[in-house]
């Protein structure tokens, strides 16, 4: 299979040599290597031209935006290549990336739409981000979601874009041609990942084979509102763009149900409440009583066998009769439970410290010991209460003058 690597270059003159050389240093070299410069204002073009002698093709165009440049890259190399690997001009491939990814496409019967790998975040100096840096912590949390028992890849992706970047795409050229990048600012990669995951088309290698660079010019460095709005738009587009396929394909539809259910527990920028608000506004603006009734009546029991059974029957059938009748706490509930447990543990430790200090004060008090001689003060030292907080409160209430 012929492999092409494509880079959309824009104002990354200081980083693009690392990107280009990471391709040239692959243990399995690509068959074609195209860079399209999207109207850079720095000296990126001059830097790229130095690599033309190594087989790098260069196209220079007026600024058209990332999504349009990626689509032009794909259209250009798809004429003679089967696979396309995308690399942002500030990211870096590890040397064995292609050697590890390409065998996944060699079995025709089980060939995926795309292959993705583990990644790490690096800074402007190429060094990995510190473990306590917030984005590095988020990446670890996003990948940890996949360790939960029974989580499917499309559910995992709904909870977090753990694949992170378009640099993590090695895909079939025909798939990319049929599913071009959309005109988003932040989420063109996330939409592509979501579509491929819903089709059960992503092969995942968890080994780290990609360095994703974090620096001040990243698109993701923005106020929350623009990113949240685009994430809402992306999910509306998932609904719009796939509605006919959902109706016709039960397996795709089932994965979509699971995807949207998992999206409620997103640790990315998808706000489930705001999405429901948008759906409410959409219904109010487009449906009257007759339209709503017609929409619901149009659900065909033959095409949609889900109408023949109660959706939450399993919640009761699998209930053990003791625990809350739900299959599992969601991540938000688990987080709140963990926070509550941590707060309680800290409160208990503080209470035990105060109890110990109180008892030390009692032991140092001549009044307490004199009272004990006459049979007084026993309640002050009594161990009353079930929890440390209750014990401390009892001691405080019985506290007298110890001096």
Instruction: Write b or e for each residue in 35-63: b if 16 or more Cβ atoms lie within 10 A of its Cβ, otherwise e.
Output: bbbbbbeeebeebbeebeeeebbbeeeee
Residue 333 pLDDT > 60 = no
Portion of the chain with pLDDT greater than 90, in percent = 66
| Under 8 Å between Cβ of 48 and 27 | no
Measured CA distances, 366 to 29, 138, 261 (Å): 85, 56, 66
Q: What is the pLDDT of residues 213-241, one digit of tens each?
A: 998 766 555 688 999 999 999 999 999 99
Q: What's the pLDDT at 302? A: 84
| Under 8 Å between Cβ of 183 and 64 | no
Mean pLDDT of 85-89: 97
Edge-to-edge strand list for the sheet holding 3-9: 57-61, 32-38, 3-9, 83-88, 170-172, 114-122, 202-213, 92-93
Burial of 190 (0-12, 13-18, 19+ CB in 10 A): buried
Highest mean pLDDT: which range of 82-86, 130-134, 295-299, 382-386: 82-86
Q: What's the pLDDT at 310? A: 78
Higher pLDDT pick, 125 / 346: 125
Q: Which residues pair with 33 in a beta bridge?
A: 5
Q: What's the pLDDT at 219? A: 57
Residue 128 is classified by DSSP as B
Alpha helices in 213-298 (DSSP H): 224-248, 250-263, 272-286, 289-297
What is the C-alpha to C-alpha distance for residues 67 and 183, in angstroms, rounded to an integer? Answer: 6
What is the C-alpha to C-alpha distance for residues 222 and 214, in angstroms, rounded to an integer? Answer: 13
Q: What's the pLDDT at 263? A: 95
What is the C-alpha to C-alpha distance for residues 300 and 247, in angstroms, rounded to an integer? Answer: 10
Q: What's the pLDDT at 328? A: 46
Residue 168 pLDDT > 90 = yes
Residue 402 pLDDT > 50 = no
| SS3 category, 213 | strand
What is the C-alpha to C-alpha distance for residues 31 and 85, in angstroms, rounded to an integer? Answer: 11
Higher pLDDT pick, 119 / 349: 119
Mean pLDDT of 388-395: 75
Q: Scanning the structure block, which residue is given the tokens 């008892």?
A: 359
What is the C-alpha to C-alpha distance for residues 218 and 166, in angstroms, rounded to an integer? Answer: 13
Instruction: Write b or e for each residue in 4-15: b if 16 or more Cβ atoms lie within 10 A of its Cβ, otherwise e.
Output: bbbbbbbbbbeb
Q: What is the pLDDT of residues 255-310, one digit of tens each?
A: 999 999 999 989 989 999 999 999 999 999 999 999 999 999 999 888 888 888 87
Helix or strand (DSSP H, E) at 196: helix 188-198
Helix or strand (DSSP H, E) at 210: strand 202-213
Mean pLDDT of 10-17: 96
Instruction: Write b or e for each residue in 262-277: b if 16 or more Cβ atoms lie within 10 A of its Cβ, otherwise e.
Output: bbbbbbbbbbbeebee
pLDDT band (50, 70, 90) for residue 318:
low
Q: What's the pLDDT at 149? A: 87
What is the C-alpha to C-alpha distance for residues 42 and 47, in angstroms, rounded to an integer? Answer: 10
Q: Which CATH architecture has domain 3-221?
A: Alpha-Beta Complex (3.90)
Distance of CA 68 to the CA centre of its chain: 25
Q: What is the pLDDT of residues 362-373, one digit of tens each?
A: 666 665 555 555
| Under 8 Å between Cβ of 188 and 181 | yes
């Amino acid at each position: 299979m012929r492999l092409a690597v494509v880079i959309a270059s824009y104002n990354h003159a200081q980083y693009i040599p690392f990107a280009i050389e990471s391709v040239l240093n692959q243990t399995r070299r690509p068959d074609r290597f195209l860079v399209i410069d999207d109207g850079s204002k720095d000296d990126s073009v001059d830097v790229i031209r130095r690599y033309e002698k190594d087989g790098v093709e260069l196209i220079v165009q007026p600024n058209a935006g990332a999504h349009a440049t990626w689509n032009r890259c794909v259209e250009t190399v798809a004429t003679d290549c089967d696979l396309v690997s995308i690399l942002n001009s500030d990211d870096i491939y590890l040397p064995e990336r292609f050697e590890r990814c390409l065998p996944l496409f060699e079995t025709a019967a089980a060939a995926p739409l795309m292959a993705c790998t583990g990644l790490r975040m690096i800074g402007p100096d190429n060094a990995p981000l510190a473990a306590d840096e917030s984005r590095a912590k988020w990446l670890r949390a996003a990948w940890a979601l996949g360790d939960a028992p029974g989580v499917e890849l499309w559910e995992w992706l709904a909870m977090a874009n753990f694949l992170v970047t378009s640099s993590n795409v090695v895909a079939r050229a025909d798939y990319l041609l049929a599913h071009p990048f959309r005109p988003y600012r932040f989420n063109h990669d996330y939409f592509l990942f979501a579509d491929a995951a819903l089709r059960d088309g992503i092969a995942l290698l968890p080994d780290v084979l990609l360095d994703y660079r974090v620096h001040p010019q990243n698109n993701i460095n923005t106020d929350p509102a623009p990113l949240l709005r685009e994430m809402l738009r992306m999910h509306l587009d998932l609904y719009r763009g796939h509605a006919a396929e959902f109706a016709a394909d039960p397996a795709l539809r089932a994965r979509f149900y699971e995807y949207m259910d998992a999206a409620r527990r997103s640790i990315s920028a998808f706000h489930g409440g705001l999405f429901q608000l948008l759906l409410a506004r959409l219904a109010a603006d487009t449906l009257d009583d007759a339209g709503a009734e017609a929409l619901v009546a149009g659900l065909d029991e033959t095409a949609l066998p889900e109408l023949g059974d109660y959706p939450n029957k399993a919640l009761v059938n699998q209930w053990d009769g003791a625990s809350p009748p739900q299959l599992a706490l969601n991540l938000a509930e688990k987080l709140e439970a963990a926070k509550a447990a941590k707060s309680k543990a800290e409160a208990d430790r503080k209470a035990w410290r105060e109890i110990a200090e109180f008892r030390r004060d009692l032991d140092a008090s001549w009044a307490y010991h004199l009272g004990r001689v006459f049979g007084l003060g026993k309640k002050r030292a009594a161990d009353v209460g079930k929890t440390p907080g209750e014990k401390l409160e009892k001691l405080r209430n019985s506290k007298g003058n110890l001096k």
